[in-house]
Amino acid sequence: MASGVTLLFSGALCLGFASTLFGQIDSYQLRAKYGPPLDRETFTIAPGFQIIVDYGPDQQVRRLEVPPGVSSPKQADDVLLELVPMSMRGKELGSGLNFMSRASIKFTDYEHISIGEPQDPDVPGRRTGVTVVFKSSATALFGQIDSYHLRAKYGPPLARDAFTITSAFQIIVDYGPDQQACRLELPVDRKQADDVLLELVPVSMRGKQLNIGAFSSGPNSIKFTTYEHVMISESQTSVTVAFKREVCRNP
């Protein structure tokens, strides 16, 4: 019995220790370090399906994004048709493809919005996400797409902030119910990502390295390194840190 009590006590200490180690990664400290986060909210439409909404100074929508890999094409199209119906997009002005090395984006330009669809370089015709940018002429038409109406439709947004480190480098932070960080996501810019991670999650605080490996899904692969207090995953597009804390959904 005594050994069982000791084990439970040690486990609680370990979880508490991890919380203490990374207690400085909260919204207050990140705002002090990087300035205010983007005026952005992320809504869960259905399990595994999210939309990201950026607002302008008037609190009206400026940009909607269905990120890669979070929905089927039909789900994304249905939600976009509901929020941005064809009748409100205005006259179609043009369409085409923009190429950047292997990557390409299909675009369709309307009077009031512009829609971009990144294409899968390995599967012709398959898109990997959708972005809608609202023009200034759209404000009166799409006044219902603000935080108040989206919360009424989809419920409260995720407890998430996005901070701009440089013009091309942002970090996304998901918080737990205690307002401490549960997850960090950074672009795959190797040097900059490593510098930010070493500052926010120094090696001395990660704990003992427990495991390292990789897994693949089709053409995509993810390398992961598991430590006592965090797990770090690296894909072709991002680096993610998941914190092993009691209030977080641990990896």
CB proximity list for 176: less than 8 A, separation 6 or greater: 159, 182, 245, 247, 248
| CA pair distance 31, 161, nearest whole angstrom | 10
- List the CATH code of the domain at 60-145: 3.30.160
What pLDDT sits at residue 184? 93
Domain boundaries, the chain: 17-37+159-243, 60-145
The C-alpha atoms of residue 173 and residue 107 are separated, in whole angstroms, by 29
Is residue 133 helix, strand or coil? strand
Quote the pLDDT of residue 101: 72
In b/e form, how buried is each residue of 158-183, taking b as 16+ CB within 10 angstroms? eebbbbebeeeebbbbbbbeeebbbb
Distance CA 61, CA 53 (A): 7
CA distance 82 to 89: 12
Which tens digit of pLDDT belongs to each residue from 79-111? 889 889 998 899 999 998 887 777 788 899 999
Q: Would the pLDDT of 5 be above 50?
A: no
- Write the pLDDT tens digit of every residue in 134-161: 987 676 677 667 888 889 989 999 999 9
Smallest CA-to-CA distance from 122 within 143, 102, 140, 144 is with: 102
pLDDT score at 54:
93
Q: How confident is the model at residue 20 (pLDDT cuts 50, 70, 90)?
A: low
Query: Which amino acid makes up residue 133?
Result: V
208: DSSP letter: S
Strand order in the sheet with 181-187: 160-166, 169-175, 181-187, 238-243, 230-234, 220-227, 209-217
